[in-house]
């Protein structure tokens, strides 16, 4: 069997806090969740979400119908917050270098029948998937697991900064889309195969994103203000030909 991380990330805190966290979030913002039944109830799954606001990651973890182990930028894993994120089973990711360790952790989750979360844009922006890393497609190619698109709507005010929160009482929609599937590709995998698969996944996610906006009759907040975009080099999470 292909290699991956030896141990599954922690799950106890991830399971235990979700109901309480959902209640607390809904005290501040009405959160409407659509299409939860589109997430397969069993087996490995990859959730791939657009990235608009600073609360997208927590919302994905709290309102997914199944607990999620999400790739999270390693800068968040400092101090007490870092300890909490690790205890909650989140996976640190180095965005500035190839990070096979993070990918192995995601593979371990999916191969164990769990749910891995990823933001293909790599950083917050307008949420239109203009920049699209290949990690989600790569995970699908390696495992054969379905990718469920997730559209975050209302998580950043129009014109708001990268760290801006929605106004208190402002509604938030989390929309789960139709699963995307691709045949598992045995090692070795070529860069071109990963790239082509990523193009197909992006097209599917864009279609689901447009459908989510039409369904909710809402729009995305537009681009970040000038100078707010984070540097996000296209390093690649892991060389496609590396055996994991």
Please state the length of the chain. Answer: 244
Q: Which two tokens stand for residue 89?
A: 């089973």
The catalytically annotated residue of 34, 51, 134, 204 is 51
**51 catalytic, yes or no?**
yes
Residues 6+ apart with CB under 8 A from 96: 233, 235
List beta partners, residue 68: 115
Q: Which residues are catalytic?
A: 51
């Amino acid at each position: 069997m292909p290699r991956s991380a030896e141990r599954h990330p922690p799950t106890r805190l991830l399971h235990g806090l979700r109901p309480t966290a959902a209640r607390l979030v809904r005290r501040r913002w009405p959160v409407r969740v659509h299409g939860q039944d589109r997430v397969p109830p069993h087996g490995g799954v990859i959730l791939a979400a657009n990235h608009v606001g600073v609360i997208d990651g927590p919302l994905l973890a709290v309102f997914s119908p199944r607990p999620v182990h999400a790739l999270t930028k390693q800068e968040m894993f400092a101090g007490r917050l870092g300890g909490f994120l690790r205890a909650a089973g989140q996976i640190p990711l180095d965005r500035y270098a190839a990070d096979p360790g993070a990918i192995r952790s995601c593979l371990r989750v999916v191969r164990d029948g769990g749910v891995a979360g990823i933001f293909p844009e790599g950083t917050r922006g307008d949420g239109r998937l203009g920049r699209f890393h290949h990690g989600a497609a790569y995970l699908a190619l390696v495992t054969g697991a379905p990718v469920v698109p997730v559209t975050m709507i209302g998580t950043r005010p129009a014109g708001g900064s990268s760290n801006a929160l929605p106004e208190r009482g402002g509604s938030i929609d989390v929309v789960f889309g139709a699963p995307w599937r691709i045949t598992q590709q045995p090692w070795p995998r070529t860069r071109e195969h990963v790239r082509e698969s990523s193009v197909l996944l992006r097209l599917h996610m864009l279609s689901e994103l447009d459908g989510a906006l039409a369904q909710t009759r809402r729009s995305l907040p537009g681009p970040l203000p000038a100078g707010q975009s984070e540097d996000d080099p296209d390093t690649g999470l892991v060389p496609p030909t590396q055996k994991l």
